[in-house]
Structure 1
Amino acid sequence: MKPEYPKIASREQWLAARVALLEQEKALTRQRDALNAARRQLPMVEVTADYRFNGPDGEVPLAELFEGRRQLIVYHFMYHRDKGEGCPGCSFLVDNIGHQAHLHARDTNLVLVSRAPLAELEAFRRRMGWRLPWYSSFGSRFNYDFHVTLDAAEAPVEYNYRDRAELQRQGQLDDVKGELPGASVFLRDGERVYHCYSTYARGLDMLMNTYHYLDLTPFGRGEGWGGMPDLEGKGLMWTRLHDEYQGAAPARHDCCA
């Protein structure tokens, strides 16, 4: 079914509507600036656990993931060992990461971390053509402690700052289990490492530039919510691994929604 197009207007009518929208955009920008300032003012917690990761140069502690820089962003990437590939939503997000030189210029490093053996991660990284540093937390408590691997036998269930009881009340418990996405920020002061911030679920939207580009268009993300058309009849499930679109592979559940 053909999606609904915007109404046709004169140039003068369009300009009046656009100027009105501009005021809303400016207000939102100011709100984002205030939110970013509040995020920067969060207190931090020293990381005392001796987390170990496997990377291309062997086993390294958390401090080595900074690569000598003061700030570190970890993207908790969902890797599905049973499928031998990454989550389509997480892969979509990584496709949106730009050149790291701009982050490095601000003393910041960005890495991927997954709870899977390094050899499996490296094979998928080669398939996707990514060059980002990717570390394995397999055998470590890192994923459990940062609530991106949920297993009640290992740690109390918590996701997006909601415990098991609250997730159950909200009807989300069945959707949050096993491997899950997230992003965490750390700060290094000499040999000491501090945890500053973590975000999950739709908090990760801000990292997906393709969404922001699509939000400029009449059809938006084409996901069928918020007045958008559902362009494929799949809603949030439209994202695929970037080498599967042309082959019309069936879209799978977007586990990063």
Structure 2
Amino acid sequence: MSTHVVGTREEWLAARLELLEAEKELTRRSDELARRRQALPWVRVDKDYRFGTDEGEATLAELFKGRSQLLVYHFMFGPDYAAGCPSCSAIADGFNGFATHLANHDVMLMAVSRAPLAKLLAYKQRMGWTFPWASSFGSDFNLDFAVGITEEQQREGGAEYNYRREAATRSAQTPDGPSTQFGGEHPVSQFARMCGTDPFTYIRERPGVSAFVLEEGVVYHSYSAYARGLDGLWGMYQWLDRAPLGRNEAAGIWWRRHDEYAGATPACCR
């Protein structure tokens, strides 16, 4: 039986109006942060990155596809993965519609992963996605934008993620240890298994978003965010945060790839 507070419509309205003021303040604060993001200095990108795309090899400038702005979602799909990260997949489920609108507003949305292009295209077909996805396999792109970690960095430490230096991942507090938060299989181990790899290989890829601008033939990096900085991109969480029980994750990781839920229809059969 629920123990949640039950009240009259008048009590609800009074509490709602009080909450509305806090929501308005959050909106104003969010607008201010957006302006500060846009005011960050641009950093010229001089390295000649090469990507595999379904239209052939492309430079970073060519990923803009005629637009002046490029948003890259750093999708966790390493060369040794058998499938894409379930969390990244949940985020990417919203890209198809967004990508069309953004492309018609001078912004190119592109997912980029280290897995070879053939793996990305096969997974993209499985998921029923249409947004553009490029492979950075063989380039330094992921390392340079702090979404990739080498085996040496993992052993010795020194990798940077979310603007912090990480220690070596060698102790008993390893990513495949027991979960202290959920009391069962650690989420990293669970996701690694779902990706067909081991936990240490899995976490050498990291999620993130990076923004670039193309001006007079020169590419500049303008913004990157990682970890909880990606919360706003999780479309399902924006809905859950407005649902009566919220995210309701006391039992642990609940989401799956959209074709893995009971009764799901494969993309090829829709």
Flag whether TM exceeds 0.5 (same fold). Answer: yes
- 8 Å CA contact 2:147–2:206 kept in 1: the answer is yes
Residues 1:173 and 1:47: Cα distance change in structure 2 (over 3 Å):
farther
Partner deviation per Cα, 1:203-246 (whole Å, 9 max, x = no partner): 111111110111011111111xxxxxx2xx22xx1111000111
- C-alpha displacement at 1:81, in angstroms? 4.6
Residues 1:8 and 1:178: Cα distance change in structure 2 (over 3 Å):
same
Identity across aligned pairs (percent)?
51
Count of aligned residue pairs for this structure pair = 233
Partner deviation per Cα, 1:180-220 (whole Å, 9 max, x = no partner): 11110000002100000000001111111110111011111
Of the structure 1 ranges 100-109 and 10-19, higher mean CA displacement relative to structure 2 is found in 100-109
Residue 144 of structure 1 corresponds to 143
Q: 1:239 pairs with 239, 249, 255, which one?
A: 255
- 8 Å CA contact 2:78–2:113 kept in 1: the answer is no
Q: Normalization by structure 1: what TM-score?
A: 0.84
- C-alpha displacement at 1:8, in angstroms? 1.2
- Equivalent-residue separation in structure 1 for 2:211 and 2:164 (angstroms): 20
Partner deviation per Cα, 1:74-106 (whole Å, 9 max, x = no partner): 000011554511000000000122342321232
SS at match of 1:149: coil
Residue 135 of structure 1 corresponds to 134
Residue 165 of structure 2 corresponds to 163
* CA RMSD across the alignment: 2.3
Q: Normalization by structure 2: what TM-score?
A: 0.80
- 8 Å CA contact 1:84–1:124 kept in 2: the answer is no
Q: 2:204 pairs with 166, 173, 178, which one?
A: 178
**Moved beyond 4 Å, runs of 4+:** 80-83, 171-176
Residue 208 of structure 1 corresponds to 234
- Equivalent-residue separation in structure 1 for 2:66 and 2:204 (angstroms): 32
- Any stretches of 5+ residues in structure 1 without a counterpart? 224-229, 249-257
| Aligned-partner residue type, residue 141 of structure 1 | D
- 8 Å CA contact 1:211–1:221 kept in 2: the answer is yes
Of the structure 1 ranges 74-83 and 141-150, higher mean CA displacement relative to structure 2 is found in 74-83
Q: State whether structure 2 residue 35 is matched by structure 1 residue 19.
A: no
Of the structure 1 ranges 45-54 and 99-108, higher mean CA displacement relative to structure 2 is found in 99-108
Residues 1:138 and 1:83: Cα distance change in structure 2 (over 3 Å):
closer
